[in-house]
Structure formats: structure tokens, C-alpha cells
Amino acid sequence: RVALSFKLMWVRIVHAVLPPVNFTLTVSALAQVLLQWEPNPAQEQNNSTIRYDVKILSPEPEEYDTRRTHSVRTAALHNGFSARVRTLLLQEGIPRSSNWVEGNLPPLPGATETSVTNLSCVTHVTIPGNVSLRCTWLPGQGAPEDTKYFLFYRYETHTEECPTYTKDKWSRNTECRFASTQIKPDEIDNLVVIHINGSSRHAAIKPFQQLFNQNAIEKVNIPRNISISLEQNDLLATWEKPISPFHEECFEHEFYLINLKSGNQISSSSFQLWVDASSRYSIRIRANLNHICRAPGVWSDWSDTIYVGQNKLESSTTWILTLLCVCTSCTLLLAAIICQINHVWSKLFPPIPTPSNKFRDPFPTDYERARTCPSSTETEVGSLAEGLSCSGLDDSVF
């Protein structure tokens, strides 16, 4: 029994799994860490397969295994980096693992709230093969007014500082533009690393790093040579694909139509629509890449507005009402003008009074007697008979 116990103990010692040694973390590029370790020299293999289990703890959890004794990871390092590794031993189909060995990188130095915030970046294919880059950000709340920010981008092994900045009212850099970059427009899911550090006489500015998937931040170009036609009730559209290394089937499009007569708005991804031919429309089109070729990026800007169709009145009643309103307005205006002219004419040329006849006819006719009867305002008093006679005449004339 003692011999058997000793034999079992010896087997356990021989098959113990030992952790790797000399585990180190080294910053090899912007936002890039080289993880290195060595096999434990006391590890007995005995025809076993050795692999290594690697676990990234921060900033983004990740776990994988490898046969190698080194690994390269891309991550934002401004808040530090932490990882651990252990030995995996597979013997006779039975997996066994060692204890973990852990390593850490401290956060990048700098005062709190001095890093940039709200970092946003967009790429754009200006011509086939050339990609521009534009990034904007806000200064940190704790950044002094004399802070100077500086942006660097890394794509694969290429690193470059921003050549052109836009400043805020305190002359702090808040925008960067690269007219040309080393970003390859036909690559898929490559990372664009952005690193922004800074300097100030009053505080240590903490650097900031962010990773962007190049496809997620690419803003697609506007479709080219757009043509819109209206055939009866069918609205037809043709165009050429945006400037891009991707084929035409990789794009999706969106239409935005406004019925200028009714005000109705239509949003559609169809290139042929049934519409009201009696209306006039304004149309805009934009494009984006679809899931067939890669993950969609940023929608393009809308195209210039294109107008098609012509507003037509639906019945003659509208014409009649419109014409009636116009004629009524013209008639009233003409009447007002005539009245005004007559008023002015009477002011300029008043009527001439008829002279009175001082010599009375001894035998006036009835008409003349009625015309020459004295009025109620005359001072001359007539007889009662004459007054009655005049009243009778007045009634017969008017």
C-alpha cells in the first residue's frame, strides 16, 4: 500500500500543469499591446499538447486560446489595460489548466476631465482609391482655456498627425481634417485608431483613444447622374452608383418625395412609384451600402432637389370661381375709378347757374307759370288764389 501511494503521488507530480512565466505587456503602437510570455521550464509535456488560454479583462473583455507565446491586441489604453494567461495541457483527451498569471498597464497620466469628449469621425471616398477623414470633439470640462489638443490616427501600421485643425473661440483645436489617408476603401472591418493628447501650462492633459470600424464611419457619396421622369402615373428614376470601389448591387437607395399640391410626403426605397399625374413633385435621393457586401455605414447626403410633374386643376368649377373673383374685383375697381373721376371733374368744372328772367310774360302758359311760381323763400307775397294755383301745378308736374 505504501508503494502504491508513492506511485500515485509521483504520477500527480509529473502531470501537474504549471503557469507560464515572464508575462509582460508592452505598448507597441497607438492603442496596441503586445502580450508575451514563456513556457514554464519545469513543465513536463510527456507527449501532451500545450496551448495557452488568454483572457483580456479590460478595457473590453475577450477570451481566446493560442499555441503561440505572444499575442497582439488593439484596444483603447487611456484607462489602462489588464490581461491574464494560463497554460492548457491536453493529455490523452483530458484538458487540464494551470493557475492564471496576470499583467496590467496603468491608465495614461493626466488630470481628470481634461480629455476630449464626444469624439466623432467620418471617412469619405473623394476619388477612387482616396479616403478623407474628418473628426470633431469637445474639450474636456476640466481643460484650461489654453489647452492645445493634437490628433493622430493609425491605420494598420501607418500613423499620422492631423495637418489641418479648426479652433473654437478660445483657439482650442476641436476639429481635424485629413484630405487624404492610408485607409483602404475596399477593406472590410479594419480598425481606425484615433488618439488625441494635449498640453497646457495649467494642467496635465489626459490623452484619449477611440477605435472605429472603418465601414461604420464611412459616409457614402451621393448617387450620380440622377434622372426623373413621369409617364402617366408612373414615376421613374435612373442614376449611377456613388463613387466607391463597391459594385452597384452593394448599394441601397431611399427616395423622399413631396406632393407640392397636397403637401403629402412619401419615403420609399422603390425606384418606381405610382403617383397622381395631376400633381407636381419634388424628389431627393440618397444612398448607403447594404448587408450584401458589408455592414452599412453612414447614409449619404440627400441629392439636389429635382422637380417633376405639373399642378393641374381638377375641375372647371375652380376656373369659373377664379374668373368670377377676378371679374368682380375688376368691376369694383373700375366703379371706384369712375366715381373718383366724376368727383374730381365736378370740383374742377362746377355747373353754371341759369339767370333769372326779370321780365314776366303777361300771358304765360301753364308750363311757364309753373316754372315761374315764387318759392316759399321769396319775400314777395301772392294772393291765396295764386298760391293754390301754384300748388296744383306743382303736383301735376312732379
What does the alpha-carbon distance between residue 242 and residue 261 come to, in Å, rounded to a whole number? 31
Domain with CATH 2.60.40.10 in the chain: 11-105, 117-213, 224-309
Chain centre to alpha carbon of residue 118: 17
Is residue 198 exposed (0-12), middle (13-18) or buried (19+ Cβ within 10 Å)?
buried
> What tens digit of pLDDT does each residue of 7-53 get?
444 444 445 899 999 999 999 999 999 999 999 998 887 777 899 99
pLDDT band at 355 (very low <50, low <70, confident <90, very high): low
pLDDT band at 280 (very low <50, low <70, confident <90, very high): confident
Check pLDDT > 60 for residue 211.
yes
Please name every residue paired with 125 in a beta bridge, in sequence order, or none if there are none: 131
**Could you tell me the pTM of the whole model?**
0.69
pLDDT band at 376 (very low <50, low <70, confident <90, very high): very low
CATH number given to 224-309: 2.60.40.10
Per-residue confidence (pLDDT) for residue 327, from 0 to 100: 81
Neighbours of 70 (CB within 10 A): 13
What does the alpha-carbon distance between residue 244 and residue 294 come to, in Å, rounded to a whole number? 13
Fold of 11-105: Immunoglobulin-like (2.60.40)
- CA-atom Rg of the chain in angstroms: 49
What does the alpha-carbon distance between residue 380 and residue 376 come to, in Å, rounded to a whole number? 9
Per-residue confidence (pLDDT) for residue 208, from 0 to 100: 97
Mean local confidence (pLDDT), 192-220: 96
Contact between 53 and 63 (Cβ < 8 Å): yes
Please list, in sequence order, all residues whose beta carbon lies within 8 angstroms of the beta carbon of residue 89, skipping any fewer than 6 positions away. Answer: 15, 17, 43, 48, 49, 50, 95, 96, 97, 98
What does the alpha-carbon distance between residue 374 and residue 362 come to, in Å, rounded to a whole number? 16
Contact between 142 and 200 (Cβ < 8 Å): no
Compute, in degrees rounded to 10, the torsion defined by CA atoms 163, 164, 168, 174: -60
CATH number given to 117-213: 2.60.40.10
% of the chain exceeding 90 in pLDDT:
48
Check pLDDT > 70 for residue 92.
yes
Check pLDDT > 50 for residue 397.
no
pLDDT band at 318 (very low <50, low <70, confident <90, very high): low
